[in-house]
């Protein structure tokens, strides 16, 4: 079946612009995660959604970052007034209900964000 | 919060030899330790995991060991093959309410034919 889908695959934008990154999780998966991977670094947790519970936003690096998950499915990560340090690959992952909480099992291919 | 350190950052081994990647964690409450493999330009894939009530777990050529007292865990790959070349990430999850994984910085493993 279809895996986790992210769009766009690449995004180049000017400093100061807003960007929206989209994630389509695997159908039926209740848990959705956003991670950020900078060049040569590990994965940095950003935000976690589980069903109808309040999301865990503890990893968002600043108030320029926000995320929504509509209808328990698609999620959008928004970065306002982008800065060069926001350049990274943004990875989305999902897990089915009953999975260990906090465990991203299926990753998307990511969105490579480049801020000029 | 949790801090995960991973060593080495790069590792080259001859095909057929074994490879070992080590991670340490800081939070004694961490109870779950997955490993991910990320091939060049591809998405991370969960390859093996271990819980804090288990000391060792094996899956074909891959094994993971956990030492709770010392707060370290290791990935062992035996009979390495060219397709094992990738970046490997360890991670740790703290128990009770902390719904996120803390990742190590990765090990780039190169298998020399």
Interval B20-29 mean pLDDT: 94
Q: Where are the beta strands (DSSP E) in B15-112?
A: 19-25, 30-38, 45-51, 56-59, 62-67, 72-77, 86-94, 101-103, 107-112
Interval A39-67 mean pLDDT: 89
From the list A44, A91, A103, which residue is nearest B93 (CB)? A103
Interval B2-22 mean pLDDT: 96
Q: How confident is the model at residue A1 (pLDDT cuts 50, 70, 90)?
A: low
CB atoms under 10 Å from CB of B49, counted, come to 19
CB pair distance less than 8 Å for B100 and A59:
yes
Q: Which of A25, A32, A37, A43 would best serve as a mutation to test chain B binding (most B beta carbons within 10 A)?
A: A43
CB atoms under 10 Å from CB of B109, counted, come to 21
Between these two residues, A102 and A73, which has the higher pLDDT value? A73
Q: Is the pLDDT of residue A69 over 80?
A: yes
Q: Is the pLDDT of residue A101 over 70?
A: no
What is the least distance, in Å, from the CA of A44 to any CA of chain B? 7
Q: Is the pLDDT of residue B94 over 80?
A: no
pLDDT averaged over every residue in chain B = 92
Q: Is the pLDDT of residue B10 over 90?
A: yes
Report how far residue B106's alpha carbon sits from residue B23's, in angstroms, rounded to the nearest whole number.
Answer: 10
- Is the four-CA dihedral B39, B41, B42, B43 of positive or negative sign? positive
From the list B32, B43, B89, which residue is nearest A108 (CB)? B43
Interval A97-114 mean pLDDT: 82
Q: Is the pLDDT of residue B97 over 60?
A: no
Q: Is the pLDDT of residue A110 over 70?
A: yes
């Amino acid at each position: 079946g279809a895996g986790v889908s992210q769009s766009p695959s690449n995004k180049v934008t000017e400093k100061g612009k807003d960007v929206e990154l989209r994630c389509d999780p695997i159908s039926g998966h209740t848990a959705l995660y956003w991670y950020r991977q900078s060049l040569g670094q590990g994965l940095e947790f950003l935000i976690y959604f589980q069903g109808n519970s309040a999301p865990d936003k503890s990893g968002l690096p600043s108030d320029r970052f926000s995320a929504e998950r509509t209808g328990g499915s698609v999620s959008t990560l928004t970065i306002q007034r982008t800065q060069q340090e926001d350049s990274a690959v943004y990875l989305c992952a999902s897990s089915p209900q009953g999975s260990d909480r906090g465990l991203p099992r299926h990753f998307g291919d990511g969105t490579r964000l480049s801020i000029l | 919060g949790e801090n995960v350190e991973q060593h080495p950052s790069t590792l080259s081994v001859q095909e057929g030899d074994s490879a070992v990647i080590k991670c340490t964690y800081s939070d004694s409450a961490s109870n779950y330790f997955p490993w991910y493999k990320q091939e060049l330009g591809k998405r991370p894939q969960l390859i093996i995991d271990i819980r804090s009530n288990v000391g060792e777990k094996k899956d074909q050529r891959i094994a993971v060991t956990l030492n709770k007292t010392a707060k370290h865990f290791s990935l062992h790959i035996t009979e390495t093959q060219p397709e094992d070349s990738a970046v490997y990430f360890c991670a740790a999850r703290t128990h009770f309410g902390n719904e996120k994984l803390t990742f190590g910085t990765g090990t780039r493993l190169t298998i020399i034919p």
